[in-house]
Amino acid sequence: MSNLARQIQQEQQQRQQQVQKPKKSVQRQTLFSPGEKILGILFAGAVCIGAVQMVSNHSALYEVNKNIQQTEAAIQGQTEQNKDLSMQVAELSTYERIKAKAEELGLTFNEKNVKAVRD
């Protein structure tokens, strides 16, 4: 019986060795080929560059619009100042004021020397 037990044991060992030997390394199949990976990377890079370009253009437009608004505000302020100065000129060039200033400086008014000038 001891030989029979040894034979059974040897057969079991041979079966285990046979089961272990046929195991071959499993080759993994890649999802994407190297060419597809390169194309994917290039596409992702192009998308990133496009996004950066869009943000850059938007920033430049914002800066230009800001400068335009500042210039318009400066023009508006200058226009108001010009209106105020025009009103001062109109007030200071009235006939009564000119006559009073002339008398203050010692000038006399002679109606015979006055001629009407029309625009």
Backbone φ and ψ for 19, nearest 5 degrees, come out as -65, -40
- The pLDDT > 70 percentage for the chain reads 88
Q: How far apart are CA 41 and CA 45, in angstroms?
A: 6
Q: Which two tokens stand for residue 61?
A: 């437009």
Write down the pLDDT at residue 29.
79
Write down the pLDDT at residue 112.
79
Write down the pLDDT at residue 18.
63
- pLDDT tens, position by position, 53-85: 999 999 999 999 999 999 999 999 999 999 999
- pLDDT tens, position by position, 40-57: 999 999 999 999 999 999
| Cβ contacts of 99 within 8 Å, gap of 6 or more | 109
Quick check: 6 pLDDT over 70? Answer: yes
Q: How far apart are CA 28 and CA 38, in angstroms?
A: 20
Q: Please tell me the number of Cα atoms within 13 Å of 104 on its side-chain side.
A: 6
Does the CA dihedral 90-96-100-103 come out positive or negative?
Answer: positive
Tell me how far the alpha carbon of residue 110 is from its chain's centroid: 71
Quick check: 95 pLDDT over 90? Answer: no
Write down the pLDDT at residue 56.
97
Average pLDDT, the chain: 86
